[in-house]
Every structure is written in C-alpha cells, then in structure tokens.
Amino acid sequence: MSMQVDTTQMEKVSFNAEQLEEIRELVARYPHPRSALLPVLHLAQQHFGYLPMNVQQLVADTLDVNLMQVREVVTFYTMFREQPTGKYLLEVCTNAGCMLNGACELLEHMCRTLGIRVGETTPDGLFTVTEVECAGACGGAPVVQVNNVYHEKVTAEHMDQLIADARAQEDGGVA
C-alpha cells in the first residue's frame, strides 16, 4: 500500500471542546507544544479507536506540526495503530521471562480457541490477538494485556474463561 496520501480527499474529524481543553493543558506542561504529540495521539486513539490518516491530520493541525512528523511518530511506536482492532485486544508477551514460563504455548492455545492467527481479528470483530515484547512484569509470567490491563500468571483456563465472559457479555448486550 502506498503511504502517500491525498489529504484533500479525507473525511474531516475534530476534537470536542473538552478534549481541546485537555490538549491545551497538556501543551502547557512542556517547553514546546510538539512534546504533547505522544499524549495527544494517545488521547486521539482512545477517542477514535485507532489513528487513520484523517485523525493524524487532525493531530498535526491541532499541534501545528507537519503531518509527516505525526506519521513518523505513529509508525515508530507499536502502541499507535493505523488499523482498527477487535473490541478486546489481547496482547501476549512471549519474551524471555514469559517464554520460559509457557507463553508460546498459551498464545498457540488462544489462537486455536479463537480460530485466528497472531495479528488477526475474529470475524465477529471481538478479539484481536497479538504478540508483544516484554511487558515489564516478568515476575508474573506469562503476562497478557487485555485492552491494556495486565493479567499475570495467566493459564489457558484463565484465557478461556476471559474469552467466554467477554462473549457472554457481548451476547447479553445484544439481547
């Protein structure tokens, strides 16, 4: 996919007043507004779910930086996503500490249960499974983050339960 973009063809998005106020406060904490780029991208991702090009343009305009600078940042950091994910983002650490304590087997189990490969989202849009680098919680290996909440010493049963609960809640929500 070509990363070059025709910015004139994009749907316009905006921040609401409350978010703009929050951004103003963020900007005020740094010697230069550009420093607020990561925090504002976190805020934008929280709000829009992910960071498509029009959201990146919005962030660029809001902080008065070049779109290229935003693109550089978004593509450098793994937590910023240009594609949407499932409602539940399951991030499994498979680095040393976790690997030595069964993380790879756990990951395999999760993929099998959900019928997807690493990096994919279930067809119902509920779950995305990814493999991540050391989460900084190796004492609790293996570690899985569910929408950025840490779960430690996770077993296959835990994950099955978590997936079942999420599905149940989802069904309940529909009914």
Nearest C-alpha neighbor of 33 from the set 45, 42, 41, 24: 24
Nearest C-alpha neighbor of 74 from the set 47, 42, 31, 107: 42
Angle at 30 between CA 24 and CA 32, to 5 degrees: 90
Residues binding other proteins: what is the number (CB under 8 A)? 55
134 in Cβ contact with 78 (< 8 Å): no
Please list every residue from 12 through 51 that binds other proteins, using CB under 8 A. 29-32, 34-39, 41-42
Tell me: does residue 65 bind other proteins (CB under 8 A).
Answer: yes
Q: Least CB distance from residue 24 to other proteins, whole Å?
A: 14
Token output for 19: 């978010």
**Choices 74-82, 107-115, 118-126, 157-165; region in contact with other proteins by CB under 8 A:** 74-82
Nearest C-alpha neighbor of 127 from the set 74, 169, 175, 79: 169
The correct pick among 84, 87, 145, 156 for binding other proteins (CB under 8 A) is: 145
Please list every residue from 102 through 131 that binds other proteins, using CB under 8 A. none
**Nearer Cβ to other proteins (3/174):** 3
138 in Cβ contact with 150 (< 8 Å): no
The correct pick among 15, 44, 55, 94 for binding other proteins (CB under 8 A) is: 94
Token output for 33: 């507004």
Which chain residues interact with other proteins by CB under 8 A? 1-7, 29-32, 34-39, 41-42, 63, 65-69, 71-73, 75-80, 94-97, 99-101, 132-141, 145, 148-150
